């Protein structure tokens, strides 16, 4: 299906949904510490989202039973809140997607719990850098491979691996739409970026192997993923508006 660009009014709605995603992460961040459970994070996100007149899009999405994804340590993405308690030294990605006035704002950050190892801290720093380098590669008329190329370049230079099978996506009136935004690839290859359409840039960066293991969620079509070697994985995600002159990061508070 062809991508339909957003009009001015729709862009304003995307800006609001995306700002709320950033505010939700800022809100959660205040509570993140050793001893907090992933179910508590789920409740924080659920209640905050509703209090702002939005709905948490993950809840019921393809049967996903919670309002947020919480991915700890070797969990790559789509971690299902299930009562795990955060411990000193953990890293946790919290991925939120409020749906506000019909539009989706998708963003995630990886948080450090207490005293984390130098390796974990470096991995998380590289994941954030990878997202930023990927975003900076966005140009009007550019392609998804431009983003993936820059993402993968920084990841491999720093001695890590980028997850290949999962990545970013178009987002707007629909949670997940075209194009697929890879965290690897070649400049000038892949789908063309469309001005006034939104995409996410959300590289998943692994400490060791890029091989992933897929896990089922009972009653859901959504899968969650872990690293095959059980080493750490980190991720950051922004929703970005492609413009006719460049881009605008929308998931900022």
42 binds ligand MF3 (CB under 6 A): no
Choose the binding region for ligand MF3 from 10-18, 38-46, 54-62, 243-251 (rule: CB under 6 A): 54-62
Q: Rounded to the nearest whole angstrom, what is the least distance from the CB of residue 76 to ligand MF3 in the complex?
A: 12
Answer for which of 71, 73, 97, 183 binds ligand MF3 (CB under 6 A) is 97
222 binds ligand MF3 (CB under 6 A): yes
Q: According to the 3-state scheme, what is the secondary structure of 170-204?
A: EECCCCCEEEEECCCCCCCCCCECCCCCEEEECCE
Q: Which position has the token pair 């089922």?
A: 216
State which residue, 54 or 116, has the beta carbon closest to ligand MF3: 54
46 binds ligand MF3 (CB under 6 A): no
Contact partners, residue 218, CB within 8 Å, separation at least 6: none
Residues 132-161, interacting with ligand MF3 (CB under 6 A): none
The span of 19-27, 56-64, 111-119, 126-134 binding ligand MF3 (CB under 6 A) equals 56-64
Report in angstroms how near the CB of residue 174 gets to ligand MF3 at its nearest. Answer: 12
Q: Which of 17, 19, 58, 212 binds ligand MF3 (CB under 6 A)?
A: 58
Return the number of the residue (144 or 200) whose C-beta is nearest Co ion: 200
Residues that bind ligand MF3 (rule: CB under 6 A) add up to a total of 13
d(CA 86, CA 2): 43
Contacts of 144 (CB under 8 A, 6+ apart): 179, 180, 181, 182, 185, 189, 190, 191, 193, 199
Instruction: At 126, give phi and psi (nearest 5°).
Output: -70, -35
**Long-range Cβ contact pairs of 223-226 (< 8 A, separation 24 or more):** 223/78, 224/69, 224/71, 224/75, 224/76, 224/77, 224/78, 224/79, 224/80, 225/75, 225/76, 225/77, 225/78, 225/163, 225/166, 226/74, 226/75, 226/76
Residue 47, both tokens = 């209640």
Site residues for Co ion, 162-201, by CB under 5 A, read 200
61 binds ligand MF3 (CB under 6 A): yes
Q: Establish if 74 lies at the interface with ligand MF3 (CB under 6 A).
A: no
- Nearest approach, Cβ of residue 237 and ligand MF3 (Å): 5
CB closer to ligand MF3 out of 80 and 155: 80
* Distance of alpha carbon 31 from alpha carbon 45, whole angstroms: 11
- Under the rule (CB under 5 A), what is the footprint of Co ion? 95, 106, 108, 200, 237
- Under the rule (CB under 6 A), what is the footprint of ligand MF3? 58, 61-62, 64, 69, 78, 95, 97, 106, 200, 202, 222, 237
């Amino acid at each position: 299906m062809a991508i339909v660009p957003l009009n001015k009014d729709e862009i304003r709605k995307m800006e609001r949904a995306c700002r709320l995603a950033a505010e939700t992460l800022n809100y959660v961040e205040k509570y993140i510490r050793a001893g907090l459970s992933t179910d508590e994070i789920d409740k924080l996100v659920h209640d905050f989202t509703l209090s702002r007149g939005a709905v948490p899009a993950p809840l019921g999405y393809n049967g996903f039973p919670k309002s947020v994804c919480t991915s700890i340590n070797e969990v790559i993405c789509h971690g299902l809140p299930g009562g795990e308690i955060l411990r000193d030294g953990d890293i946790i990605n919290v991925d939120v997607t409020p749906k506000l006035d019909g539009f989706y704002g998708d963003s995630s950050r990886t948080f450090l719990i207490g005293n984390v190892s130098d390796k974990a801290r470096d991995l998380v720093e590289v994941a954030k850098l990878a997202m930023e380098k990927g975003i900076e590669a966005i140009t009007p008329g550019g392609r998804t491979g431009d983003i993936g190329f820059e993402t993968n370049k920084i990841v491999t230079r720093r001695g890590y691996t980028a997850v290949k099978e999962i990545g970013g996506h178009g987002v707007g009136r629909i949670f997940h739409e075209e194009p697929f935004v890879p965290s690897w690839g070649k400049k000038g290859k892949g789908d063309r970026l469309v001005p006034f359409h939104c995409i996410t840039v959300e590289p998943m960066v692994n400490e060791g192997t890029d091989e992933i293991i897929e896990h089922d969620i009972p009653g859901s079509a959504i899968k969650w993923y872990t690293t095959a070697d059980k080493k750490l994985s980190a991720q950051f995600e922004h929703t970005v508006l492609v413009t006719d002159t460049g881009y605008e990061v929308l998931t900022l508070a």
